[in-house]
């Protein structure tokens, strides 16, 4: 990555910036999709923006999250790299609750979400290349630093995104398993796509808090040990997202067949 890094970001749920000693300042960004509140911390290298995708007071359920506003706010703040966390249920029996999985592919079963910045009209058309949905350089650095930090991360996994807010039925989970899904969550899509549309480097770690529907009699959310696991993951993410020498990747070049907007930009600009 040779481009200038202005700021980096971590996207997560509640407690996204809960680290002892970390001081953050609240900021509201007025985006074309509405105001988005974030927390910003000044660290030794790049300022880090923390975004709770559900809103600072967890006001948006998964199907009503302002995904476009969230990503637009990060872009407007000059963010070029994002690491995200997802709470998930485990489908793959080799990934019990408590596992951390570096996602490398997605199945999208959401509906009714505003899933693109390219809605025609002034914003033009573009088709996003998704052969490598997550930034390989960020993924590789995460895995390398996790080994040093002795934090076990599964190096790959397919994330199926459901619309929620209900959990899945056992038959749905059997279907997703047949399609190759390892974990299931409700928030990864369209977040990853929107990041790619903006040329932001994006990688995500899923943390499993339950077996998916049908694996046990009833879904049981595991709470023991999860807050400490998330703190360790957050420390690792903070180090990774600020790495100085990431290898080259093609995230900044994911748009294909762009129809220039009326302003002639040829690329969506905020
Ligand atoms: N299904 C969907 N989303 C989830 C789950 C699940 O089992 N667990 C945590 N988020």
Among 70, 90, 207, 256, residue whose Cα is nearest residue 160: 90
pLDDT at 266 over 50: no
pLDDT at 227 over 80: yes
Length of the chain: 270
Q: For a substitution probing ligand 1, which of 54, 62, 87 has the most ligand atoms within 8 Å of its CB? A: 87
Distance CA 151, CA 231 (A): 11
Which atom of ligand 1 is nearest to 219's Cα?
7
Specify the residue with its C-alpha closest to ligand 1, atom 9: 88
Q: Quick one: pLDDT at residue 3?
A: 67
Q: What superfamily does domain 7-259 belong to in CATH? A: Nucleoside phosphorylase domain (3.40.50.1580)
Distance (Å) from CA 137 to ligand 1 centroid: 27
Q: Could you tell me the residue ranges of all domains in the chain? A: 7-259
**The whole model's pTM is what?**
0.95
* Protein residues whose CB sits closer than 6 Å to any atom of ligand 1: 87-89, 162, 167-168, 184-186, 209-210, 212
Question: What are the φ and ψ backbone dihedral angles of 41, each rounded to 5 degrees?
Answer: -120, 140
- Structure letter (DSSP) for residue 15: T
**Range 5-20 average pLDDT:** 89
Specify the residue with its C-alpha closest to ligand 1, atom 10: 88
Distance (Å) from CA 184 to ligand 1 centroid: 6
pLDDT at 6 over 60: yes
Provide the 3-class DSSP secondary structure of residue 76.
helix
pLDDT at 33 over 60: yes
Q: CB under 8 Å to 179, separation ≥6 — which residues? A: 107, 160
pLDDT at 265 over 50: no
Residue 262's pLDDT band (boundaries 50, 70, 90)? very low
DSSP 194-211: HHHHTT-EEEEEEEEEEE
**Range 183-192 average pLDDT:** 98
**Beta bridge mates, 88:** 208
Q: Quick one: pLDDT at residue 261?
A: 55
Q: Quick one: pLDDT at residue 268?
A: 55
Q: CB under 8 Å to 98, separation ≥6 — which residues? A: 207, 208, 222, 225, 226, 229
């Amino acid at each position: 990555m040779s481009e200038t890094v202005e700021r980096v970001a971590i996207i997560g749920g509640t407690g996204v910036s809960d680290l002892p000693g970390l001081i953050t300042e609240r900021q509201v960004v007025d985006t074309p999709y509405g105001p988005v509140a974030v927390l910003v911390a000044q660290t030794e290298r790049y300022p880090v923006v923390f975004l709770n995708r559900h809103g600072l007071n967890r006001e948006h359920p998964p199907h009503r999250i302002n995904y476009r506003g969230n990503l637009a706010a990060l872009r407007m703040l000059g963010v070029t790299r994002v690491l995200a966390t997802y709470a998930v249920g485990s489908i793959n029996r080799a990934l019990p609750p408590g596992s951390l999985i570096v996602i490398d592919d997605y199945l999208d079963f959401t509906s009714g979400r505003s899933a693109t910045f390219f809605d025609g009209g002034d914003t033009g058309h573009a088709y996003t290349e998704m052969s490598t949905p997550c930034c390989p350089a960020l993924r590789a650095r995460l895995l390398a630093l996790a080994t040093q930090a002795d934090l076990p991360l599964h190096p790959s996994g397919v994330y199926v995104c459901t619309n929620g807010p209900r959990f899945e039925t056992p038959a749905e989970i059997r279907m997703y398993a047949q399609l190759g899904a390892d974990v299931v969550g409700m928030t990864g899509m369209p977040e990853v796509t929107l990041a790619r549309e903006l040329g932001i480097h994006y990688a995500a770690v899923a943390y499993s808090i339950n077996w998916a529907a049908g694996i046990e009699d009833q879904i049981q959310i595991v709470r023991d040990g999860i807050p400490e696991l998330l703190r360790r993951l957050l420390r690792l993410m903070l180090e990774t997202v600020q790495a100085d020498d990431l290898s080259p990747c093609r995230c900044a070049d994911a748009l294909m067949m762009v129809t220039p907007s009326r302003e002639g930009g040829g690329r969506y600009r905020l």
